[in-house]
Amino acid sequence: MVKNIAIVSLSSGTIGEAFAAHEVEIGIRRLKEYGLNVIMMPHAQKGIEYVKNHPEDRAKDLLQAFSDDSIEMILCAIGGDDTYRLLPYLFEHKELQKALNKKIFLGFSDTTVNHLMLHKLGLNTFYGQSFLADICEMDHEMLPYTATYFEELIQTGKIAKIEPSDVWYEERTDWSPAAVGTSRIAHPNEGFLLLQGSPVFQGKILGGCLEVLYDIFDNSRYADSVSMCEKYELFPPKEDWAGKILLLETCEEQPVPQLYRKMVQTLKKTGIFEVISGIICGKPMDELYFEEYKKILVEEVADPTLPIVANVNIGHATPRCIIPFGVVAAITRSNSLRGSLAISCTSSEPVCSGVSPAALSPPAGVKNSP
């Protein structure tokens, strides 16, 4: 079981702002109730402006957390939009490779970039939850479905099986202290939806937030994102995607269908759709454009034999499960009343601390430094 958990702000510094103090208090209290020793990394609560202007300090926090053998788990505070700016501070002189120890790493959204960094170095990670978005939930308790997977991870170091949630929740519009103790509006949830292909397929899962993956190839948000990601070879080569399951989910910006199509087309140009074993898609926030996204994805994949499963409770819609990257996962038929499909994950051992960098190795075809 995890004892020491470090919180890092690798993208946005929201948890250092006064307007989020009531949420942070809730989250820290919950983690302590789990028996966890909470370690706020030195720059995690410096605030939005400081964190934005000092990517080198964000990188220092990550390196320190990985270097500290007493820390078993690294939990990302929240996402953002410029985590790619950490690349030179983590890869120019193999800084991250030298600091790396095998431990639990959990985050989602813009943290997609960090997952790709760690995949590049051979570390399996966990996608799907963050400190502010999940642990700090303002209801009287964490959302039950979300809590189930977080508890499994801190108790066992792995995730064994993922099934659909019974419900989904509308996103909050009031994040003020007055909303503490209020419940989200819930709706019945369908199970995982097979859009095409076989209902049974397997592979190691990799991917993340579609907008973040798109920014690796597009400069619309930041002028240097493409050149920096190319220099440090952030996006895995086509051969590394062979046999993998691609995870895609959309962010709180809720892209219009035309942009969604453009982002999917950009990924398709990499050639990965030709070699992956399937695609799993997270439920979009508030189910906005849900039908359009499903239709567009099937059209752009243009291969009816490639399995696509939608409505997975992962990403920016609540509640959220946790999906392990780097271990073999099988999408199978389920006898559960919650849906006809489930995701089973296999792992020979739990992720834990105390493993030297030499024990880690990058995937085949992946270089670990420029």
Q: Name the residue with tokens 């009531």.
A: 22
DSSP bridge partners of 169: 186, 318
Contact 129, 146 (CB under 8 A): yes
Lowest mean pLDDT among 33-37, 164-168, 284-288, 340-344: 340-344
Q: Which two tokens stand for residue 52?
A: 């934005």
Domain boundaries, the chain: 4-158, 162-345
CA distance 131 to 76: 6
Instruction: Evaluate if residue 288 carries a pLDDT over 60.
Output: yes
162-345 architecture in CATH?
Answer: 3-Layer(bba) Sandwich (3.50)
Please name the residues in contact with 9: beta carbons below 8 A apart, sequence gap of 6 or more.
15, 16, 41, 43, 44, 45, 46, 51, 58, 61, 76, 77, 78
Considering the chain, what percentage of its residues have pLDDT values greater than 90?
91
Please name the residues in contact with 38: beta carbons below 8 A apart, sequence gap of 6 or more.
5, 7, 28, 31, 32
pLDDT score recorded for residue 306:
98
Q: Confidence band (pLDDT; 50, 70, 90) for 195? A: very high
One-letter amino acid for residue 356 of the chain: S
Contact 190, 164 (CB under 8 A): yes
Instruction: Evaluate if residue 365 carries a pLDDT over 60.
Output: no
pLDDT score recorded for residue 340:
73
pLDDT, one tens digit per residue, over 155-180 is 999 999 999 999 999 999 999 999 99
Q: What is the CATH number of domain 4-158?
A: 3.40.50.10740
Which pTM value belongs to this model?
0.94
Tally of CA atoms within 13 A in the half-sphere of 280 that contains its CB: 31
pLDDT score recorded for residue 359:
42
CA distance 301 to 308: 9
